[in-house]
Amino acid sequence: MVWDLRKLFWFCAICAAVFGQFAATGWAQSPGGAGFPVPSDPNQIFFLQRSMNSNTIVYAARIGSDQKLDRNEPIEIFWRRFNDNGEKLPLTFTERNLAFGVHTKPLRNWPDAYLVTLKAYSGRSAVLRIVNGAPQLEGKVAGQDARLISAFLHLDESGRIPRVIKVDLRGETLDSRQPLVESFIP
């Protein structure tokens, strides 16, 4: 049972560790193919959805009045409970510390930029920074420098703990904003 939970956390971490800018508005249809609503929160940089329901984990940059990233907590992470009228709720202690929370570290040679890794998986990281007045987190998608738009986890719910059977990462290239998709079976 613990092994399956760790696997789920690890694959959530992979999806979220290469965040990116997302510019959707309203409750459009999710690119994951499940027809789920798409969040459009201020300063949103990434969202994660799972096949089990439309509740969505949103990652948003915290930007101060000086238009710089908050030094103490540059990323806010929360649920968008689309199953309950889209209300915004905080992560639980376990979700924040084992699955979806992040570590951030200022980059010495890059002002107002942070190295970001998920607490559940430190093997993949990204850089959070402000570009043309908007926050974005840059990493790799399908081997290319990208902003990740979303991740969709296909889950097998037949056991006691859901198991990830496929991950769809969606992003866009940094230079030309061409769509990128990286799907893999864990």
Task: Give the Cα separation of 153 and 12 in Å (integer).
Answer: 8
- Beta-strand pair 44-50/144-156: parallel
List 60's β-bridge partners, or say none. 44, 76
pLDDT at residue 185, rounded to an integer: 80
Question: Whole-model pTM?
Answer: 0.81
Task: Give buried/exposed letters for 71-84 (b at 16+ CB in 10 A, else e).
Answer: eeebbbbbbbebee
| Domain spans in the chain, listed from the N-terminal domain onward | 2-184
List 182's β-bridge partners, or say none. 169
Q: Is 10 left (phi over 0), alpha (psi -120 to 50) or beta?
A: alpha
Number of other residues whose CB lies within 10 A of the CB of residue 93: 9
- What is the total residue count of the chain? 186
pLDDT tens digits, one per residue of 64-76: 999 999 999 999 9
pLDDT tens digits, one per residue of 82-110: 988 899 999 999 999 988 899 999 999 99
Ranges of residues in the chain whose predicted pLDDT is under 70 = 1-34, 120-121, 123, 186
pLDDT at residue 23, rounded to an integer: 30
* Backbone phi and psi for residue 66, each to the nearest 5 degrees, phi listed first: -85, 5
Using CB atoms within 10 Å of the CB of residue 10, give its burial: 0 to 12 exposed, 13 to 18 middle, 19+ buried: middle
pLDDT at residue 109, rounded to an integer: 92
144 by DSSP, 3-state: which? strand
